[in-house]
Structure formats: structure tokens, C-alpha cells
Amino acid sequence: MAQKQVQRVRIAIQWGFLLFSLYLGATFYRFVLHFRSGGATPFVARPDGVEAFLPISALVSLKGWIASGAVNTVHPAALMIFLAALLVSLLAKRAFCSWVCPVSTVTELFWKIGHKLFGRNFQVTPWLDWMVRPVKYLLLLFFLFSIMLMMSPERVNTFILSDYNKTADVKMLDFFLHLSGTPLTVIVTLLLLSVFFRNPFCRYLCPYGALLGLLSRLSPVKVQRSESACVSCGSCNKACPSHIDVMHKERVCSEECIGCLRCVSSCPEPEALQMRLKGGKVVSGMLVAAVVLVIMVGASVVGRATGHWHSAVEKSEYQRLITK
Ligand code: SF4
Ligand code: SF4
């Protein structure tokens, strides 16, 4: 597949996941509305995929799974989707961030608009970038410390079975439906910043991305440059949303590489820049797309087949929890 077409495929997959997320959100809204309206609106089945938006619950579930060997029955889909994102990062860098995550899709749209408006995106000064970039790791450390280290198996169990966790998805929906004050200001600020800078939320604040980035160091594939074929045109550096100095690297080993392949697509020399396995074998963009799709869709298929997808929370319990 021509390198340029890889970007069309990536964007199509990104937007496919974004639209699917919106569909899940709308369906989940109708599910909640049924209970809140006292049954005046029709009942729709709760879409389990909405649990993709419960990363903290997924991390607690992971701890519970490691401790007991059992997948919890409250939000099993959250754990399956979380494991899928980890697996994508282990195999194909942070491709989850650039091929799947709806937040990244929206911010990418914003910085592309900014690029059209100003003819360029801006870059945070190196010292400020260096100072702010650790924030996402500190947030990750906080979650890993308080959940993976400090929570006992009993507390994990109590949390998983709590009413709070059972309605974490409803709280998330309400959060977005009633955005105001500080959360609204933060989101609008981040979106505005995204017009000027590339992916500021992913680069500085997202603990999910930080975790995937650290795991991606173990990935067997990396963007690799051939010194002899490279003509030092700088296109790869300009294309990289993570501001990696691809042009002067032999192999891009950075945890900031989100596996978007924009550098590869922008390279005018066919042999100069490729995603490659450690042994040198080229990994095509189409293969990256296939890995991402198979793992993300496969999580749902495997979850359903093994009984780890549908929540065991009964309709009558949702009735009690949502209307209380
Ligand atoms: S190095 Fe290439 S694949 Fe990695 S983030 Fe930059 S443009 Fe994307
Ligand atoms: S885009 Fe390709 S040819 Fe140009 S500097 Fe990067 S690797 Fe070298």
C-alpha cells in the first residue's frame, strides 16, 4: 500500500472509532433516560462498550484479576478493552493513541485546523516542555500507587461491588451532560490549546497515554531510518505530532511515538523510513491497521465468547441505582 494511503486508512479507523463511541454514548443515554423518565421512554439494552470510558475501574479490575484470577462481573468489558489497549501498545507502539482514542482524534482535528489557519503548529519551548511532560507520569504513578500497590484484595472487591462503581458509567455520562465551571473551562482550554499545539492533552496530561508509552518501549516494532537512503529533507520531523527528531535517529525508541506513521507517509524516499521489526523486516501500515483492528474488535469477540463482556448488574438493580 502506498505510504500516503496509510494516513487515509488511519484517519478512517480513528473516525470510525469516534463515531462508534458517539453511538455508544447516545445509546447509553437512552438506557439511562428510560429509568430516569420512570419508564416513559422505551428501554434499550445497555451498550457494554461504553465501559471503554472507565479506565480507573478497569485498573481496579486488573488488580482484582491479578489477585484472584477472576474477571469481575460488574464491568468486565472495561477490563477486556483495557487489556486490548495494553496489547496494542506491546505490539505496535502507542498505536491505540493515534488509531483508536477519540480524544486524540478530536485534538488531531484541532491542530490540523490550526495548521491550516496559521500555516504551522507551534512548539512549546524546550524547558517548559521538559517541565510539564512529567505531569502525565506523576498522574500515572498516583493511580498505580493507590490502586495497584495500596488497595488490598478486599478493598478491590468492595470497590468493584460498590454502588459507586456500578454506576461509574452513569456518573461519566452526567459529567459530560452537565459540563460547567472548572471542568468545562479545562476542556475548552485544552481544545483551544490544541489549535496551536499538537496533542497537548496526550503529551502532558494523559496518564493512560503515559502507561501505553512505557509499555510501547517493549514493542518489537519501531520507526527506523536508513542513513544511506535518507536525503535529510526534514519532512519526517515536520510531520511528527510528537516533535521527535526522526531525521537524526536510527531507530525511534521514544515513548512519545504514537505509531501514527505520519513520518513514514511524508518521507519522499521509499527506502529511507519504515516501521520495522528489530531484525529489519518492514511492517506495513496496513499490517499496523490490521493489528489494531483485530485486537480491539477481538477484545469484544473474546469477551463475549468467554462470558466476560456483559455486565451482570440486573435491570432491577439499575432501576434502583439510577433513580435513587
Ligand atoms: S515518530 Fe513517526 S510514528 Fe512516531 S509519533 Fe512521530 S510521526 Fe508518528
Ligand atoms: S523524510 Fe525521509 S528522507 Fe526526509 S529526512 Fe526524514 S527519513 Fe530522511
Question: Percent of the chain beyond pLDDT 70?
Answer: 99
Dist. CA 246 → ligand 1 center (Å): 8
pLDDT reported for residue 2? 65
CA dihedral 279, 285, 290, 292 (to 10 degrees): 90
pLDDT reported for residue 123? 94
Mean pLDDT of 9-18: 98
Ligand 1 within 6 A of CB of 292: no
The residues, any chain, with a CB within 8 Å of residue 90's CB and separated by 6 or more, are: 215, 216, 218, 219
Query: Which residues, in sequence order, are bridge partners of residue 277?
Result: 221
Q: Nearest ligand, CA of residue 203?
A: 1
Instruction: Quote the pTM value.
Output: 0.94
Give the residue among 124, 90, 119 at the shortest CA–CA distance from 200.
124
In the chain, where the domains are located: 8-219+288-311
Mean pLDDT of 269-290: 94
Kindly indicate the confidence band of residue 279, based on its pLDDT and cuts at 50, 70 and 90.
Answer: confident
CA distances from 230 to 206, 221, 225, 258, 267 (A): 33, 20, 7, 22, 9
DSSP 236-248: HHHH-TT---GGG
**Given the CA of residue 266, which atom of ligand 1 is nearest to it?**
7
Q: Is there a contact between 48 and 79 (Cβ–Cβ < 8 Å)?
A: no
Per-residue pLDDT for 256 more than 90?
yes
Please write the tens of the pLDDT for every residue from 177-186: 999 899 999 9
DSSP 240-272: -TT---GGG-SB---TT-----HHHHH-SSTTT
Mean pLDDT of 161-180: 95
Ligand 2 within 6 A of CB of 232: yes
Look over the chain and give the mean of its residue pLDDT values, rounded to a whole number: 96
Segment among 12-16, 241-245, 319-323 with least mean pLDDT:
319-323
Please write the tens of the pLDDT for every residue from 29-83: 999 999 999 999 999 999 999 999 999 999 999 999 999 999 999 999 999 999 9
Please write the tens of the pLDDT for every residue from 89-126: 999 999 999 999 999 999 999 999 999 999 999 999 99
Per-residue pLDDT for 296 more than 80?
yes
Give the residue among 215, 230, 219 at the shortest CA–CA distance from 277.
219
Q: Is there a contact between 74 and 166 (Cβ–Cβ < 8 Å)?
A: yes
Interatomic CA distance for residues 267 and 73, integer angstroms: 48
Interatomic CA distance for residues 42 and 169, integer angstroms: 20
**Given the CA of residue 235, which atom of ligand 2 is nearest to it?**
1
Q: Looking at ligand 2, which residue's alpha carbon is closest to its atom 3?
A: 230
The residues, any chain, with a CB within 8 Å of residue 217's CB and separated by 6 or more, are: 253, 255
Please write the tens of the pLDDT for every residue from 258-267: 999 999 999 9
Question: Percent of the chain beyond pLDDT 90?
Answer: 96
Please write the tens of the pLDDT for every residue from 15-36: 999 999 999 999 999 999 999 9
pLDDT reported for residue 156? 96
